[in-house]
Chains A and B, each alone.
Chain A
């Protein structure tokens, strides 16, 4: 119980600290929303009019930082997220977030899960058959692919599969001429548009899982209980999955929990390259245009998701390993 209380209070303190930074750091960036709007309207429009447009959407250039900070804390907690004062001028931040969230969760979230599953299975097999065919080329290839920049892979895939071969669409989350709905055409279109960005992420993220899993397997396979299992004459498959892999996977599980936490903030550049309207892209626009209301909500979501994932991983490890509970 003491463990739970300590972890929870640490969680709340970190959350408060992060949210405070989220409020102040954007406001110390150069420029302000008014200058960004003037730049977007290319100095054609009257600054007085632009300022009163922004004011009508809740921008208070002259209010002090401290009162604004307390309003901000209250608004974040109560869900009064306000309206965008950047590129999506006047659109409620809630709408922007809920319209982008499913796409990021769907694309990045699913890809993270798939990369984890595939990567672990491949790592198990490679580690089990150490020095085998798979193991001889896989690790060296993966060291390379895991370190390639993912936007570069994305551009390469676009060049080959979209521009040259014309097999797959290179932009958007679905064909914009289709009305969204539960129709086979729409779902097919969504799947088709997800292929290239998903492969981009898969190619670059799967390597890490495979390499860790392979190395853990090699260590575990040398353990006494595996030799014991062999001595008992158990089938290879049973030893591989039930004895070796089960233990080798433990470190990867907490890594997986953390990478789920990073899904939301995940892939600004992948969304940018593939014109995929998810949260990462909204963040880029918010930062470019000093869109404080949108920026602070997105940062809050990222913070909360990472902290929740870490907390969950802590509890999970504590449940798996009683020693973690004692050490607190």
Chain B
């Protein structure tokens, strides 16, 4: 049943419950009240009254350690709640203008090698100290000083796969960053993913990499009211800079150790925000109340990765045969019970990234629908047929029951053309080890999402990520090598216009169709369940203002700022 998002955590259980009438029983946290703040702010739901409680039910996998280091160990429970980044970039609407957060605006120079932020004035840290551009410059320089904090490799040279940041300086309300080369593809990491920490506190903590930060001071909309191994209770930050925000006054984030208890609490209404796979979600959850809703935007692919360096899948014809033989719609309908949509061979996730899809090329390639005739022909080229079948082992992760179901459908579809697959379920750590070391014939994997298709495809296909079979690679797990694709990724990274980026991505899509280095099967989605019984303002298919799952940061902040209590109005 487990469909893990491990670093992500969280869940929150209903309020009160317990034994009623015990007046000496203290419940954690009181509500604070919001106050006014500074200058230009993003237009959110204004004029709403404060009140309401968000209770998150989402697998954490572990109990809380009640530490809130946003840069290393506690990104999940600190970012978006307590700490904020400079801008918010919505991965679901990557062409939209970023939302100003701690920075009010930004400018790139003409070559995308220098980035200047205007830092917001009137923001206070939750201890009352004023937030300044110095804090921003301090945070980025801290990442340079302590390698363990630089989780997005911003200071690493471009030759090592990093952004090539060379200096960050503050002057007045401006922060200027200089890069050794075009760094536009790292804009998401710099502006959106890096939380800003207060210099007046962090400069005194010793090694910030293992700083426990049990009394966090941030600029975010919430502060920690109480924390135990079982639950984090956040309450509204009374000095938050955005006027009349946040509306919701309390967040309970209980630590669910596995999916089933969290799913039960969502279905019973004890919790109102979920973010994990629920088997048969319609009968288990949606049908329980007219207030229960789901929306799961596709963000990346779940692919079969063929080993292109050795074994039978090094033969292009075999890879083509598999790609032709799959009926992806059927796999999505049966294996995923319709909860994840079918993927396509270009590797571009639809409808999220529709604008990047070269649909003409997809149709012309013949991969847009199952084609057993072409599959049989391709397999024959490789020397196999139903009378002389090819045997392949496909590795997957134990506990991902939907992937197991997908593979059963795939097994049937492939045996029809003459490929017998054996599914091997592996424990998490064995799976990761085999994936990185290239120890597989075919392996099923769902990489992380990014704001454009570039991020997933670059991770999966750029041979700069490559290692010899047997050594751990940090991407390109199938050991695919193509100079044309590498050049296209470089062209995307150095592009200064969206049309140039589009052209570069289309070259990658062409390689996906011609070389079949990956076989996308279904699209992985951001699992998301929400209840409108008490709260409104949720992201939905009609209003896709953020990635909606409670474990996605910093998106979680955008949701929390828009939620409001119906009964308080």
Q: Is there an interface contact between A39 and B18, defined as CB atoms closer than 8 Å?
A: no
B512 within 8 A of A: no
State the CA gap A176–B208 with chains docked (Å).
Answer: 30
Cβ–Cβ contact B264 & A158, under 8 A: yes
Q: In whole angstroms, what is the CA distance A288 to B426 when docked?
A: 12
- Other-chain residue from B22, B226, B254 in contact with A179 (beta carbon distance below 8 A): B226
> Would you call A53 an interface residue if the criterion is a C-beta within 8 Å of the partner chain's C-beta atoms?
yes
- A183 in the interface, Cβ–Cβ < 8 Å? yes
Is A47 an interface residue when CB atoms closer than 8 A count as contact?
yes
Contacting residue for A172 out of B13, B429, B433, CB 8 A: B13
B89 contacts A by Cβ under 8 Å: no
Contact B228 A176 (CB under 8 A): yes
Q: Least Cβ distance of B114 to chain A in Å?
A: 23
Q: Tell me the residues in window 7-33 of chain B with beta carbons closer than 8 Å to chain A beta carbons.
A: 7, 12-19, 22, 24-28
> Is residue B427 within 8 Å, beta carbon to beta carbon, of the partner chain?
yes
**Which residues of B365-393 are within 8 A (CB) of A?**
none
- Chain A residues in 8 Å Cβ range of B152: 45-46
Chain B hits for A254, CB < 8 A: none
Please report the total number of B residues contacting A with Cβ < 8 Å. 73
Distance between Cα atoms of A241 and B433 in the complex (Å): 60
**A127: Cβ under 8 A from any B Cβ:** no
Interface presence of B557 (CB below 8 A): no
CA of A192 to CA of B25, assembled, Å: 15
Minimum CB distance partner of A272 in chain B: B258
Say whether B28 contacts A53, CB under 8 Å: no
C-alpha gap A310/B377 in the complex (Å): 68
Chain B residues in contact with chain A, CB under 8 A?
5-7, 12-19, 22, 24-28, 61-63, 65, 67, 69, 72-73, 146-153, 156, 161-162, 207, 209-210, 212, 226, 228-231, 233, 252, 254-258, 260-261, 264-265, 267-268, 427-434, 436, 447-448, 459, 472, 474-475
Option from A56, A192, A288 in Cβ contact (under 8 Å) with B209: A56
B7, B65, B209, B252: the one within 8 Å of A40 (CB): B7
Q: Which listed residue, B73, B156, B230, touches A174 by the CB 8 Å rule? A: B230
Other than the given A43-B475, A175-B18, 17 more pairs (CB < 8 A) read A36-B429, A39-B429, A39-B431, A42-B7, A43-B459, A49-B149, A49-B150, A52-B209, A87-B62, A166-B268, A177-B27, A177-B233, A178-B27, A179-B228, A192-B18, A192-B19, A274-B261
A residues near B254, Cβ cutoff 8 Å: 172, 176
Chain A contacts for B27, CB-based, 8 A: 177-179
Closest to A86 in B: B62
Distance (whole angstroms) from the CB of B191 to the closest CB of chain A:
16
- A53 near B73 with CB under 8 A, answer yes
Given A175-B17, A285-B61, verify A185-B22 contact (CB < 8 Å): yes
B26 touches A178 (CB 8 A): yes
Q: Is B19 within 8 A of A189, CB to CB?
A: yes
Instruction: Please give the residue numbers on chain A whose beta carbons come within 8 Å of chain B beta carbons, in ascending order.
Output: 29-32, 35-36, 38-50, 52-53, 55-57, 83, 86-91, 95-96, 99-100, 158, 162-163, 166, 169-181, 183-186, 188-189, 192, 271-275, 277, 281, 285, 288-290
Shortest distance between the CB of A226 and any CB in chain B (Å): 49
CB neighbours of A176 from chain B (8 A): 12-13, 228, 230-231, 252, 254
The 5 listed contacts between A and B (C-beta, < 8 Å) are A46-B151, A46-B161, A53-B148, A88-B63, A272-B257
Distance between Cα atoms of A46 and B146 in the complex (Å): 13
* Shortest distance from the beta carbon of B251 to any chain A beta carbon, whole Å: 11
Contact check, B62 vs A88: say whether CB atoms are below 8 A apart.
Answer: yes
Tell me, in angstroms, the Cα distance from A43 to B7 when the chains sit together.
12
Closest residue of chain A to B448 (Cβ to Cβ) is A42
CA distance A152 to B257 in the complex (A): 18
Within 8 Å by CB of B472, from A35, A96, A179, A192, lies A35
- Asked if B19 and A99 make an inter-chain contact with CB atoms under 8 angstroms apart, the answer reads no
Q: Among A29, A30, A285, A288, which residue has the most Cβ atoms of chain B within 10 A?
A: A30
Selected contact of B257 from candidates A95, A158, A281, CB within 8 Å:
A281
Q: In the docked arrangement, what's the CA distance between A247 and B282, Å?
A: 59
**Which of the residues A36, A50, A177 comes within 8 Å of B15, measured between beta carbons?**
A177
Asked whether A183 and B24 contact (CB < 8 A) given A52-B148, A53-B72, A176-B252, the answer is yes
Separation of A55 and B25 alpha carbons in the complex (Å)? 43
Within the assembled complex, what's the spacing in Å between the Cα atoms of A281 and B428? Answer: 16
Residues of B within 8 A of A290 (CB): 429
In the complex, what distance in Å separates the CA atom of A180 from the CA atom of B63?
A: 15
Contact A30 B430 (CB under 8 A): yes
Query: Which residues of A lie under 8 Å from residue B212 when comparing CB positions?
Result: 90
Measured between beta carbons, the chain A residues less than 8 angstroms from B61 are 87, 285
Cβ contact of B25, chosen from A56, A163, A184, cutoff 8 A? A184
Shortest A165–chain B CB gap in Å is 12
* A-chain residues with CB within 8 Å of residue B148 when the two chains form the complex: 49-50, 52-53, 55-56
State in angstroms the CA–CA spacing of A42 and B449 once bound together.
9
Q: Are A171 and B256 CB-contacts (below 8 A) given A46-B156, A90-B212?
A: yes
Decide if A285 touches B265 in the complex (CB within 8 Å). no
Q: Which residue on chain B has the smallest CB distance to residue A192?
A: B19
Q: Which residue of A lies closest to B450 (CB)?
A: A44
Q: Does A31 lie within 8 Å of B429, measured CB to CB? A: yes
Given contacts A53-B72, A162-B264, A178-B26, contact A39 B428 (CB under 8 A): yes
Q: Which residue from chain B places its CB closest to the CB of A36 in the assembled complex? A: B429
